[in-house]
């Protein structure tokens, strides 16, 4: 998972966790690894752990692909990477390593914005499900707002949707809070301009 829309990425991870089981079991069966420092051996060891009272474990690796980003991309994201040298060699066999991950492990690599020409992403693209989370704009953002308002138990006029999208933009963390406040204020009545 990668992209500028961290809200949707986190929501998708929350859905995956919900499929694993209750909150207590998910916490006991979730391991989060820092992609900036993790080694292939550490990843394999974490993946090999047997689930505790559940059918599967969840391993989330944050920021591994950023290590292989170009200097231009790293500058945009504010992260420093190690695109060349030992790290590149160390992770060259990642697709083969994935065959050693047991079926009881759900392995998710999560990153911020990446370019499609990221070397590790290119290496992995045919071996894993890749999901991009770009910032929502235009009609996609309008549809998201209407869906979020509906899930809050109310409706919103088209004009109010457009106004909200214009003022807040594609930051869904902020947008989610604004929709929640408006829904509480309107108490089930339509949100208007």
Residue 104 CB coordination number (10 Å)? 15
Among 18, 2, 150, 149, which residue's Cα sits nearest to residue 69? 2
Q: Residue 124: how many CA atoms within 13 Å on its side-chain side?
A: 21
Q: How far apart are CA 162 and CA 145, in angstroms?
A: 9
Are residues 153 and 119 in contact, defined by beta-carbon separation less than 8 angstroms?
no
User: pLDDT of the chain along its 193 residues, tens only?
Assistant: 999 999 999 999 999 988 887 778 888 899 999 999 999 999 999 999 998 888 889 999 999 999 887 644 444 444 444 444 456 778 888 888 988 999 999 999 999 999 888 888 888 888 889 999 999 999 999 999 999 999 999 999 999 999 999 999 999 999 999 999 999 999 889 999 9
Structure confidence at residue 86 (pLDDT): 53
Query: What's 190's DSSP letter?
Result: P
Decide: residue 2, CB within 10 A, 0-12 exposed, 13-18 middle, 19+ buried: buried
**Phi/psi of residue 56, each to 5°?**
-150, 165
List the one residue out of 62, 66, 59, 131 whose CA is nearest residue 97: 59
User: What pLDDT score was predicted for residue 73?
Assistant: 45
Q: Show the beta-strand stretches assigned E in the chain.
A: 30-34, 57-62, 105-110
Q: What is the pLDDT of residue 70?
A: 63
Tell me the C-alpha distance between 59 and 109, whole Å.
8
What per-residue confidence (pLDDT) applies to 52?
Answer: 86
**Rounded Cα distance, 99 and 145, in Å:** 40
Q: How large is the angle between the packed helices 172-186 and 138-151, nearest 10 degrees? A: 40
| Count of C-beta atoms within a 10 Å radius of residue 143 | 12
Q: What is the CA radius of gyration of the chain?
A: 20
């Amino acid at each position: 998972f990668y992209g500028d829309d961290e809200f949707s990425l986190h929501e998708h991870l929350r859905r995956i966790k919900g499929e694993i089981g209750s909150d207590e079991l998910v916490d006991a069966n979730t391991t989060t690894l820092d992609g900036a420092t993790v080694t292939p051996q550490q990843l394999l060891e974490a993946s090999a752990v047997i689930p505790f009272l559940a059918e599967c474990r969840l391993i989330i690796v944050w920021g591994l692909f950023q290590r292989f980003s170009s200097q231009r991309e790293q500058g945009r994201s504010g992260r420093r990477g190690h695109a060349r040298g030992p790290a590149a060699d160390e992770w060259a066999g990642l697709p083969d390593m994935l065959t050693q991950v047991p079926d009881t492990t759900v392995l998710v690599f999560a990153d911020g914005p990446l370019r499609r020409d990221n070397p590790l992403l290119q290496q992995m693209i045919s071996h894993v499900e890749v999901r991009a989370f770009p910032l929502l704009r235009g009609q996609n953002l309008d549809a998201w707002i209407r869906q979020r308002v509906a899930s809050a138990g109310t409706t919103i006029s088209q004009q109010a949707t457009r106004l909200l999208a214009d003022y807040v933009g594609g930051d869904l963390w902020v947008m989610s809070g604004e929709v929640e406040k408006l829904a509480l204020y309107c108490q089930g009545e339509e949100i208007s301009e």
